[in-house]
Structure 1
């Protein structure tokens, strides 16, 4: 079976959410990341859409008019057990998250969420759907960065001693962009495109400040030979395979 990451085809997502603002926001946001989103407002529309459309990942809101997201998740896993499901839940609704996972959901994301985090989770469950059982058991969303470990789904950064460091939303989006494009020259304009967030004003200076903070957090201020290298007149290059000090 081929690796989906190497395929030029977009990841086809179906969103079930009764909030029109979320449907509109995600439809535009996911497209630059190689994802095509179809959105419906309730379970009835979802049941009609699934048989006639190829869907790679289902994004399923918990609180829906009519049938709940939990009921729909149970139905989906019965009729299409291999379809990855990410449940969108209310912040702090631990019981529903647990029930959703027990009913077969592959992941969950509490609202309000950072859209860039949703991209990472979609990619993670998509990789899991294509992997063999052995590969799934060994798969990790954690990325090694020098002596550091970055869990891109849980949004956690651990130093070489295992201590967790928090990331701001801008730092998280920037680090994910670098991790997704290792050893590539990225202009500031390209980084703005990769890290844009709805409703947030950003410019090239914002990128420079975020890079500076991220370097400081990683304890790696060397702009010439470190993890995040400045390319004069171009932008930045992320070198994750640099040996840990």
Structure 2
């Protein structure tokens, strides 16, 4: 199997080259990108495994670009920036980023983060290996083999890698309170401290996608305890 191919979109030429070299020394393949055009060309022409996206990429707004990349692909995105506030981080996560890092950052830590976001499928792969290829709840169908989510009306609903992994954790622990820290661990969401709202934003995104036809999503917040997937789940 070929090493994972990382698209490194970085505004500073020296940083771009240094980080690309480090990633290649760490067992990845890496492509450098200096513009939105470079990013979209790479996504259209190559099978990219993850994107490292500089929020200060010249000529575009990084958050808008994050949204545009997410609309084209469910590839994991790590958003980086020199002056990312908590509001920016939350907005980035809302727009589809899987993780974020503040510049200047350690290339070694970036490599570790990349491995983490690309491991997020391990929970659903484990379910398939145990003979559970599908999960059904409230008319919804989750196909772990195809990584697809089908709504009660038959529509195929697009989920990012992080959203799908979080949903896999919920359907694997139905009607059970899962502590926030445990949920982050199982879904591969980084725990960066008390101010890190990654998992909360992902839950919010899941709720919006699972709320259809006037029916609320079966995800309940249990105050001071965590979250609970309230629907019964049938496994096949």
Correspondence 1:90-239 to 2 at 5 A: 90-91=82-83, 93-129=85-121, 131-132=123-124, 133=165, 140=185
1:15 to 2, 8, 20: 8
Q: CA deviation at 1:74?
A: 0.6
Q: SS at the partner of 1:140? A: helix
For normalisation by structure 2, the TM-score amounts to 0.53
Cα distance 1:92–1:86, how it changes in 2: closer, same or farther (>3 A)? closer
Long gaps (5+) in structure 1: 1-7, 143-150, 157-245
Instruction: Give me the TM-score of the superposition, normalised by structure 1.
Output: 0.51
RMSD: 2.7
Q: Which runs of 5 or more structure 2 residues have no equivalent in the other structure?
A: 125-164, 171-182, 194-236
Counterpart Cα distance in 1 of 2:65 and 2:168 = 28
CA distance in 2, matches of 1:130, 1:97: 25
| Largest Rg, 1 or 2 | 1
Secondary structure class of the residue paired with 1:67 = coil
Preserved CA contact (<8 Å) 1:86 1:107? yes
Q: Work out whether residues 84 and 129 of structure 1, in 8 Å CA contact, stay in contact via their aligned partners in 2.
A: no
